[in-house]
């Protein structure tokens, strides 16, 4: 009887260790389902967007885009490159809310973020094209804002773009 209880205890303990390890890397981003915003229009999203880091994105009504100094999302942010160029964008709507899909088609410039964590020869070559997915959200004043997650997904850092001053 005692041997059987020990065996069950060991099996249960092993299962608990396995489940703890399985969920240890599950940060807020991994379970993020969206903002729930479904009422933004293409006309409302079109225009200039900026970030406190000097990033500027212009989403034109015709579906084309101008990108200036936009960092990579998710783990690509850690590489420290900032891309500029032209591309396309579209507003999509899924179950969790709306997303702006931005695709850089023609890279015109690459810069490095001064606070980048990547150093020396380990810095990978920035991609010639790139795609971002910005969640569409509204602030307390019902103004749109766009954001994506960057860095380690367990931390949940957000890269926020707000309407360009004067737009």
SS (H, E, C) the chain: CHHHHHHHHHHHHHHHHHHHHHHHCCCCHHHCCCCCCCCCCHHHHCEEEECCCCCEEEECCCCEEEEEEEECCEHHHHHCEEEEEEEEEEEEEECCEEEEEEEEEEEEEEEECCCCCCCHHHCCCCCCCEEEEEEEEECCCCCEEEEEEECCCCCCEEEEEEECCCC
8 to 3, 13, 14, 56, 110: CA distances (angstroms): 9, 8, 10, 59, 58
**Looking at residue 3, what is its pLDDT?**
61
pTM exceeds cut of 0.85: no
Beta bridge partners of 86: 66, 106
* Chain-centroid distance, C-alpha 70: 12
**Looking at residue 30, what is its pLDDT?**
55
pLDDT at 85 over 80: yes
Read off the pLDDT of residues 99-155 as tens digits, 9 standing for 90 and up.
999 999 999 999 998 755 445 556 678 999 999 999 999 999 999 999 999 998 788
Stronger pLDDT, 25 or 31, i.e. the higher one: 31
- pLDDT band at residue 1 using 50, 70 and 90 as cut-offs: low
Number of Cβ within a 10 Å radius of residue 15:
10
């Amino acid at each position: 009887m005692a041997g059987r209880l020990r065996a069950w205890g060991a099996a249960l303990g092993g299962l608990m260790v396995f489940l703890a390890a399985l969920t240890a890397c599950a940060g807020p981003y991994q379970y993020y389902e969206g903002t729930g915003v479904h009422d933004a229009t293409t006309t409302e999203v079109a225009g200039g967007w900026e970030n406190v880091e000097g990033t500027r994105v212009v989403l034109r009504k015709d579906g084309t885009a101008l990108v200036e100094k936009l960092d990579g999302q998710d783990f690509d942010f850690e590489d420290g490159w900032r891309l500029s160029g032209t591309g396309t964008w579209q507003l999509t709507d899924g179950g969790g809310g709306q997303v702006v899909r931005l695709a850089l088609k023609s890279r015109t410039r690459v810069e490095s973020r001064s606070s980048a964590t990547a150093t020396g020869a380990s810095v990978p070559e920035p991609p010639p094209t790139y795609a971002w997915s910005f969640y569409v959200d509204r602030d307390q004043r019902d103004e749109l804002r766009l954001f994506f997650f960057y860095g380690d997904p367990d931390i949940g850092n957000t890269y926020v773009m707000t309407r360009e001053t004067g737009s």
